[in-house]
């Protein structure tokens, strides 16, 4: 089954910019950006980020406020802060043997960096990889990681798989099945997540009086280290801005 998958990938695999490098820092940036964000939105932001901060040392030298500003629009802004903290750790101490020691790096991201950048013999299992393996009942090798991700993202879809064009269909026990819709994420419009995002966007534009902002959102953002009170305690700013 794996040879058929790899042959399909050689012809139909997506040309993504992070697949053109083995730089672990660039892979780290891509994987953090891709957490809960669509590929199409990530591509231009990934390229902009690496043009501005081409190495962990370059990012580490910047104030965290700049990383947070550059992240605006990608959502889940704690990822920017974790990426900045990881860069500072790497710049100061080098890459740890256990990549999950880096802020914001869990088992999947660690496996992705190990596979795509360091040549590690480990299969990073994201939602797409897990879906293809479960439906086919086959366990693929680390060499098939990118192919599995693309098949899951473009053919072996969550609800209605495109079995008619799938390279693995002939030997797949799930061929022709349809699946229940996954539980949708809670509504964003009017949510506290939206209030947090709006507040952070305002503070990213300029230092503002606490009284002009959503106090509950400010408190939540401050707990996450995304904003701070300027000296005197009356204005809100990004970390590293004052």
What integer pLDDT is reported at residue 181 of this predicted model?
Answer: 73
What integer pLDDT is reported at residue 14 of this predicted model?
Answer: 97
Domain boundaries, the chain: 1-11+121-182, 22-116, 192-237
Active site residues: 31
* Unique residue bearing structure tokens 């500003």: 69
Q: Are 7 and 167 in contact (CB under 8 A)?
A: yes
What integer pLDDT is reported at residue 184 of this predicted model?
Answer: 67
Mean pLDDT by 10 residues, the chain (242 residues): 97 97 98 95 98 98 97 94 98 97 97 97 97 97 98 96 96 93 74 93 93 94 93 88 64
What integer pLDDT is reported at residue 112 of this predicted model?
Answer: 98
What integer pLDDT is reported at residue 185 of this predicted model?
Answer: 67
pTM listed for this prediction: 0.91
Q: Are 235 and 210 in contact (CB under 8 A)?
A: yes
CATH class for the domain made up of 22-116:
mainly alpha
CATH fold label, 1-11+121-182: Endonuclease Iii, domain 2 (1.10.1670)
Nearest Cα to 151, choosing from 128, 171, 169?
128
Phi, psi of 57, rounded to the nearest 5 degrees: -65, -40
Q: Are 87 and 59 in contact (CB under 8 A)?
A: yes
What integer pLDDT is reported at residue 105 of this predicted model?
Answer: 97
Kindly state the DSSP code that residue 236 receives in the 8-state scheme: E
- In a 3-state reduction of DSSP, which class is residue 117? coil
What integer pLDDT is reported at residue 234 of this predicted model?
Answer: 86
* Unique residue bearing structure tokens 């992240």: 71
Phi, psi of 76, rounded to the nearest 5 degrees: 45, 65
Q: Are 59 and 89 in contact (CB under 8 A)?
A: no
Give the chain's length: 242
Report DSSP letters for 168-209, one per residue: TGGG-TTTT---PPPPPPPP-TTSHHHHHHHHHHHHHHS-EE
């Amino acid at each position: 089954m794996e040879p058929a998958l790899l042959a399909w990938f050689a012809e139909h695999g997506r040309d993504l910019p992070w697949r053109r490098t083995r730089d672990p820092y660039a892979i780290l940036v891509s994987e953090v950006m891709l957490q809960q964000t669509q590929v199409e939105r990530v591509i231009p932001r990934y390229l902009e980020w690496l043009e501005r901060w081409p190495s962990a040392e370059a990012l580490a030298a910047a104030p965290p406020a700049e990383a947070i500003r550059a992240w605006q629009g990608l959502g889940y802004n704690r990822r920017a802060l974790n990426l900045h903290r990881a860069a500072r750790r790497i710049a100061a101490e080098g890459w740890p043997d256990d990549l999950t020691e880096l802020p914001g790096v869990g088992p999947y991201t660690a496996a992705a960096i190990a596979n795509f950048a360091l040549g590690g013999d480990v299969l990073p299992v994201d939602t797409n990889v897990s879906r293809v393996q479960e439906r086919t009942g086959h366990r693929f090798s680390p060499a098939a990681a990118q192919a599995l991700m693309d098949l899951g993202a473009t053919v072996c879809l969550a609800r209605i798989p495109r079995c008619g064009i799938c390279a693995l269909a002939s030997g797949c026990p799930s061929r022709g099945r349809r699946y229940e819709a996954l539980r949708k994420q809670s509504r964003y419009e009017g949510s506290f997540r939206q209030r947090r995002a709006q507040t952070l966007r305002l503070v990213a534009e300029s230092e503002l009086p606490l009284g002009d902002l959503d106090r509950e959102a400010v408190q939540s953002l401050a707990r996450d280290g995304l904003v701070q009170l300027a000296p005197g305690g009356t204005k809100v700013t990004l970390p590293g801005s004052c």
